[in-house]
Amino acid sequence: MEIMLSTLPKRTLLLGGTVIVLAILLVARWISDWGLVTIHVKDAPLSKVTSSIARQGHVTVETSLDPSTKVSMDADLVTVAEAVDQLAQITDSSWRGVIVTAPTKLALSEGVSMLRAGPDPEGWSVFYYPLSPMMSPDETAMDPRSLRWNVQGPDREVGKLLDEAAQKSGAMIVMPKDWSATVPRLPTSSATARAVHDLVGSVRGRDLSFYYLTARERRRWEDGPTEDRSRESSPPPPSSVAAASSLAAPSTLTTQPTLAAARRPEAKAEWMDQRIKATINALPAFKQVEAKKEYEEAKAFRDSLKSLSSEERRQKMKERMADPRFAEKMADRMLLRDSRRTAQQRISRSVNYLNRKASIQAAQPH
């Protein structure tokens, strides 16, 4: 072999080596970009954008929004979760990592079809516990189904275990209300999607995971002026109210105004804490130290509020928000989220805020 190589011209050897190196580089680039999403569209139908995300990310994307909605979007080599999050900001909607479970393949298909019409399908139990964005330890969009679910039990009823999984991960998990089953054993703690798949499989059920885009539920701090607010000098900016909400006990942070939310059982503070810790552990190593520090500070503050009266808690929250370091952190997060919206959305949001402020000031006695 060495003799054969020695007889080849040096130019041929050099060219061959260059080709091999380029091939290795191309394969490495292809592997590093696998599953990342790049989109540049202007006034394209929503269905085309979701299809592109699904194709590039090798995932399934479902939505209850009008598929003909026009979308303008620019994204370069972002994760699927980041692409879906940006799309949600642009369409003024919300996204969720969904796992639909059912005893049969037919029932599973029916559940997915119903979700295309809306996020609260009749005859189905929906386990979903959204947190305030300010409660998240980091603004990086992350698929909740990838978070580790430390299975606790001890109840082995499918519905109760799926509710636990939803609380500890933030995934939206759906099952028929009339499906009653008991698992022979608790699933091994692992990524939520994997653990749920094992759980459902142990009772011969079916499951399907996908990204889901749907109309955004209004949080409490986004509702219009109330009688209580009309006595304030001006409406608190969204970042301040969101921050205040994030300081409350985690069990109070589920979305409230909609009928679907009103039927949800109360979240367990202990499980919400586990969810935040799982999120921190999923962050890049260089982000975990600061995220853990912020989590411990926020948890200590929440614990300090437990024995206080409502008025004392309110005063404590005001003092917390008056802290320049805390206010700057909240402002940075709001700016980051706003940067994912279109220019027209930012203008509309500011106009709406000014209109609400003017409405409240006009209602005050002079």
Domain membership of residue 249 as a residue range:
221-363
Which of 91, 106, 135 is at the close of a domain?
91
Average pLDDT, the chain: 79
Q: Is residue 155 domain-resident?
A: no
Does pLDDT of 361 surpass 50?
yes
Region of poorest pLDDT, from 115-119, 201-205, 305-309, 347-351: 347-351
Q: Is residue 275 domain-resident?
A: yes
Q: Do the Cβ atoms of 103 and 205 come closer than 8 Å?
A: yes
Higher local confidence (pLDDT), 140 or 263: 140
Region of poorest pLDDT, from 57-61, 99-103, 129-133, 178-182: 129-133
Higher local confidence (pLDDT), 250 or 72: 72
Q: Is residue 153 domain-resident?
A: no
Q: Do the Cβ atoms of 264 and 254 come closer than 8 Å?
A: yes
pTM of this structure: 0.73
Question: What is the model's pLDDT at position 245?
Answer: 40
Model confidence band, residue 9 (pLDDT cutoffs 50, 70, 90) = low
Model confidence over 231-279: pLDDT tens digits?
Answer: 333 333 333 333 444 444 443 333 333 444 445 567 888 999 999 999 9
Tokens standing for 276?
A: 């935040």
Q: Is residue 126 domain-resident?
A: no
Q: Is residue 52 domain-resident?
A: yes
Which of 70, 91, 112 is at the close of a domain?
91
Question: What is the model's pLDDT at position 163?
Answer: 96
What is the distance between the alpha carbons of residues 293 and 176, in angstroms, rounded to a whole number? 40
- Please report the sign of the dihedral spanned by the C-alpha atoms of residue 245, residue 247, residue 249, residue 250: positive
What is the distance between the alpha carbons of residues 356 and 196, in angstroms, rounded to a whole number? 44
Question: What is the model's pLDDT at position 125?
Answer: 96
**Residue 255: exposure state from Cβ atoms within 10 A (0-12, 13-18, ≥19):** buried
Model confidence band, residue 161 (pLDDT cutoffs 50, 70, 90) = very high
Which of 91, 120, 135 is at the close of a domain?
91
Question: What is the model's pLDDT at position 30?
Answer: 42
Higher local confidence (pLDDT), 229 or 177: 177
Q: Do the Cβ atoms of 72 and 46 come closer than 8 Å?
A: no
Tokens standing for 165?
A: 């999984």
Question: What is the model's pLDDT at position 31?
Answer: 46
Residues 131-135 have a mean pLDDT of 68
Q: Is residue 304 domain-resident?
A: yes
Residues 355-360 have a mean pLDDT of 65
Domain count, the chain: 2
Q: Is residue 299 domain-resident?
A: yes
Question: What is the model's pLDDT at position 34?
Answer: 54
Model confidence over 290-321: pLDDT tens digits?
Answer: 889 888 888 888 888 888 899 999 998 888 88
Residues 83-112 have a mean pLDDT of 96
Question: What is the model's pLDDT at position 217?
Answer: 73
Q: Is residue 113 domain-resident?
A: no
Q: Which residues contact 345 (CB under 8 A, 6 or more apart)?
A: 89, 90, 92
